[in-house]
Structure formats: C-alpha cells, structure tokens
Structure 1
Amino acid sequence: MKGLYCRAGVSDAEPKFVIQETNLPEVLGSHQVRVQVKACGLSQLDLKLLSDVGIQRDLIPVGREVAGVVLQVGPKVTFFQPEDEVAGILPLDSPCSGLCEVIDIEEHYLARVIPVYKSSSDLLSEVLEETGGLGVDLVIDSGVRLHEAEEDDKEKKLFPHKHDIISVLGVGGHWVTSQHDLQLDPPDCRLLYLKSASVSFLNPEVWTASSAQQGRYLHILKDIVEKMSAGVLRPQAEEAVPLYEATVAMETVQRHQKKKAVVQL
C-alpha cells in the first residue's frame, strides 16, 4: 500500500512530499489496533520541532489526524472491537503515515465514536457504558431537542434530548450548548445541581476567540468529530481532495501555516 511522506530538504530547501510504498508488520502489538483509514487530515509539519525532539528520518510520515474503522485488535486490547468507528491522533514518532489505507496505532491514541446520529435514544446507555457509569466531563452539542413533540421533525430527531445530555454528565461536568433558546425545567436544574454541573453557551462566530477549551481536544474527540461534520467546529471549510492530489495539497499546507487539507481515501 502507499503512504504520504516528507523528504526534508537540505539547509533552506523546501521539503518535498512523496507517495511511497509501505508495509505493516504481520504481527500486531499487544496494545495496538489496526484501523482502515477513511479520512486523514493534513496539517503543517514543524520540522524544527521534530529535530528538537530527536526525530530525524529520511522520510517523515505525514498525516496524523485520522478517522476510520477497526479491522483487528491486539490480544490485550479490551476497549475496541472490530468494526468500531474510531478517530485519533498519531504520535510525533509514529512510523506510519496516517494517509495509508491501513495503519497500526496504540489503543490509547484512539477514541471510539458513539453513533448518536443513528438513534439519540441510545446516547445515555452508550456513554455510561463507555465511562463505567461515571459520565463525561464535557459535552459540546450542535443543537438539542427541547420537547418530545420535536420527534416528528427529521432534523431535530437526530439531536439528543436535553435531559439525556444532563444525565450523561459526570460530577462537576460542563455542558456547552449552541442552542440559543435553551429552556431547562425544574427537574433538569435539580439534576444539574446534584451533579454540581454547569451550562454555558457556544456561539460559533466567536469560537476562535476562545482558547479556554482548546487544550481538551482529545478528551472530547468523540463529540468533536460529529460537531465538525455538522459544521459547528471547523477552522475553515475545505473540500476533500483525492489521494493522487495529496502531495500538491501538502505542499500548499506547508507554505500556509493556518491552512489545512483533508484527504478522502
């Protein structure tokens, strides 16, 4: 199979991006997960940082933000199963390019995506199962259902109910909502009080001005994947490019620090 790599230039020469043949080891590590990549995000390579941390290779793997489906798990992996939908970030020293058909990644770099888009009724049980009944620290939504009568609305039906969101919060949890007309009933407020939880509002127009939550990306990755697909959290709208255009796209990303690209496999 093929992967995207960077051949660092000598002195001030611009790095070159090439598609190279690569192979995976036959034996999967005890804590590794084999993932079929469905999409990979391209971000600018910080070659100086890689050099500072002692990562020096002729070919540097490109593409660290990946999403896909689990194909196989190592013998000591208990959190994931084949056919799970996952998303994750490859570490700096990963030998794999994220822009491969299949990659091997340590399980603690992955998060399982909870498919609430199929049925919001399973949200509570799914989250409590994933967290051992403790609930989550943070929830960011792209809209909620305020009343059961909204079940007839096809778009609203995909949103979780406000009571379910409050129920999945752990003690001291935080709910960030983009529902501008949110109304909470006394039982919902009571449940928030018992959990010592809090609610705040997200205005997408001022998201980039807020840095308070940016460092918690990995902790809310399962939620962010769906919010990005809904268009709530995205730095810049981009069309997915095919694999054969990946080298050109990566050269553009490398020249423009704030620019990113998504490659569809």
Structure 2
Amino acid sequence: MKGLYCRLGQTDADTKFVIQEMSLPANVDGHQVRVKMKACGLSPLDLKLLVDLGIQRDLIPVGREVAGVVLQVGSLVSSFHPDDEVVGILPLDYPWSGLCDVIDVDEHLLVHKPEKLSWICVAGAIRDGVCAYTALHTHARMAAGHTLLVMDGASTFGLLCIQLASYHGVKVLTTSHTPEQHTFLEKLQTSLARVIPVFEGSSDLLSDVLEETGGLGVDIVIDTGVRLQEDEGSNGNRLPHKHEVISVLGVGGHWVTSHQELQLDPPDCRLLHLKSASVTFLNQEVWTASTVQQGRYLHILKDIMEKMSSGILGPEPEEAVPLQDATVVMEMVQRCQKKSAIVQF
C-alpha cells in the first residue's frame, strides 16, 4: 500500500514529498474502521506546529481530509457498518497518509457522508467548514442582528463563513481582491450587504465599512492574515493592516485572526481597550490536536454535512487532480503556490 509522505530536510528547501510503501494490520480491532479512499484533500503542513506538539518523525503523512467507503469495522464499532460512506479529518499524529488506497481510522473521527454530495465536494470543504464554524460559533458567538466583515470572501473559507452567517441572520460585508472576485461575490445567491474591493486603485476599507454601518463599525471581523507593517504585501492581493481591522470594529466587537504571530503595539491595545473589543486566534487544528470536546467536534462535522446536503452551505466546486500528480501538486500547496487541492481515487 503506497501513500504520500513528507521527508523533512535541514531547511525548507530540502523538504521533499515522497511515495512510500506502508502496510496495515491484518485485522481491524476495537473502534477502528477500515475505509477505502475515494477522495482526499491536500493542505499545507504546519511543520512548526508539529514540532511544538512533539510530533517528530522521519516521514510525516500527507493528506488528512478524507472521504471513502467503509470496508470493515472493529468489534467495538457502533456508528458505522460496511458500505457506509464516511468523511472526516485525520488527527495530526495519525501514522498513515490519507492518500493510501485503504486506511484504518477511529470511528470517533468520522461522520456519515450524505449520498447526494460528491466525494470531491466533501473532501474539499470539510476543513474550511470546521474553520468557519470555529470562527463564528466558538470564538465570535455570532447571533442574529450582528454585523460581520469577512476578509477575502471569494476563498472557500470566506465563502462558507458568508453562507453560514447569512443563514443565522447576520448582516455580512466582505472584501474582494480582484475584479473577477468582485463580480463573483456580487452574483452570489447569498445576500451580501456590501462587497468592498481592496485591490489596487479601489476604495478605502475603513470608510466603506463605517458608511455601511452608520459609523458604528462591525461586531465581528474574520481575517485570513494581516499585515503588521505598512509596507508588507504591496501587491494587488494585499492583506489588511492590523490597525485597519481594529478601526472597523465596533464597541464590544470580536476580531478572529488567522495570523499566528500577531503583534499589537500599545496604541493598538489602547484602541481595543477603548472599544472593549477582543482578539481570538483561529487555530484550525485545535479540534484534532485535543479530544477534550470530541462530541462537540463531531456535532460540527455532522452539521456541516447536513447543511451542505440541504444547500445552505455550497462551496465552489474544485477540480480534482489524479493520484499520479499528487506529489507535484502537494509541493505547490506547501510553497503556497496553490491554497489547497483535492485528489480523486
């Protein structure tokens, strides 16, 4: 059984992705479920996080968003039966690559896949779906009547945030990074209060948000990264500056950031204090790195599948790549030349 693994080097340039032969146990025991893979999502490896968690191996498995068909179940499994269609995210310390033909997974990491959804759709959306739920429900505590600003609404994560918030009665504003993204967002069936262009020569983020909110600012901001210095990211797809984000927040607002190394200067902290606003960090691995709230995590996965099946959540379809191209594509994903990819078996 072959799978895709990352072989670490002394530098990032020396890191390679290789196909490695692995073998599964002869029997499926306990709470394990043997699954035949149908699709697998590829996302960048956070090598620093693995070191922080003490997960150090010569070969790191690649491909953790998995979807497939149950072949066998262990003697203690109660949630699944052979031929069930399942989807889930493999934990950080999982020993096998999700790009193997067959893998063994603990039943408590999987949920049923609705029949009407494609393998590619669920494998490509499950990670961003969990992130959207974590940002909006766990961190921001969104409620009907709130006003939300989603940065980069055309991304899969941004789009799911928009759809989930709109479903719960939240007024949503978003930003577009290109004219094509702006057109796409304006044509969404999900109602948007405003699409704010932030590409070169476009309007000012702060003035547009204040105009739309009557000068009050928004209740929630969700970013996909921020600039710490004014001269960072001078290209067309610029990230918002941290002071811009704080400025658009209203009194009692919540800023959910994906920036791992955010640094706030005293004036930034002073402005947050004056607004009685808060900052929380969105760690997309928090659910799989700890099993403290495993039941809640499974509830999130089930709700994502239900809302995708009913059409409430509908990520843009992504074209799958064949298995033989997985190594090249994963190198592009790791170098941030491609945000993510889906491999179809």
Tell me the TM-score normalised to structure 1 length: 0.61
Equivalent residue letter for 2:322? P
Show CA shifts across 1:72-130 (max 9, x none): 0100001110011110111100001011110001110001124367xxxxxxxxxxxxx
- SS of residue matched to 1:246: helix
Provide the rounded CA distance (Å) in 1 between the counterparts of 2:303 and 2:40.
Answer: 17
What residue is the counterpart of 2:304 in the other structure? 224
Show CA shifts across 1:151-198 (max 9, x none): xxxxxxxxxxxxxxxxxxxxxxxxx6978xxxxxxxxxxxxxxxxxxx
RMSD, aligned CA:
3.4
Show CA shifts across 1:134-153 (max 9, x none): xxxx9xxxxxxxxxxxxxxx
Task: Tell whether the 8 Å contact from 2:33 to 2:70 is kept in structure 1 after alignment.
Answer: yes
User: Cα gap change, 1:32/1:204 in structure 2, threshold over 3 Å: closer, same or farther?
Assistant: farther
Q: How does 1:238-257 map to 2 (within 5 A)?
A: 238-256=318-336
Aligned residues: 187
Task: Tell whether the 8 Å contact from 2:114 to 2:309 is kept in structure 1 after alignment.
Answer: no
Task: Tell whether the 8 Å contact from 1:44 to 1:257 is kept in structure 2 after alignment.
Answer: no
Q: How does 1:157-172 map to 2 (within 5 A)?
A: none
Show CA shifts across 1:213-256 (max 9, x none): 9988753324534728969443x653100111000110011011
Equivalent residue letter for 1:103? I
Quote the offset at 1:21 in angstroms.
1.2
Quote the offset at 1:51 in angstroms.
1.1
Task: Tell whether the 8 Å contact from 2:332 to 2:338 is kept in structure 1 after alignment.
Answer: no
Provide the rounded CA distance (Å) in 1 between the counterparts of 2:88 and 2:319.
Answer: 21
User: Cα gap change, 1:225/1:99 in structure 2, threshold over 3 Å: closer, same or farther?
Assistant: farther
- SS of residue matched to 1:200: coil
- SS of residue matched to 1:252: helix
- SS of residue matched to 1:98: coil
Equivalent residue letter for 1:244? Q
Question: What is the identity percentage for the equivalent residue pairs of Structure 1 and Structure 2?
Answer: 61
Q: How does 1:83-232 map to 2 (within 5 A)?
A: 83-115=83-115, 200=169, 204=190, 218-225=298-305, 227=308, 232=313
Provide the rounded CA distance (Å) in 1 between the counterparts of 2:74 and 2:337.
Answer: 37
1:55 aligns with 2:55: yes
Task: Tell whether the 8 Å contact from 2:114 to 2:305 is kept in structure 1 after alignment.
Answer: no
- SS of residue matched to 1:60: strand
Tell me the TM-score normalised to structure 2 length: 0.47
What residue is the counterpart of 1:188 in the other structure? none
Task: Tell whether the 8 Å contact from 2:318 to 2:342 is kept in structure 1 after alignment.
Answer: yes
Provide the rounded CA distance (Å) in 1 between the counterparts of 2:9 and 2:334.
Answer: 13
Provide the rounded CA distance (Å) in 2 between the counterparts of 1:231 and 1:98.
Answer: 28
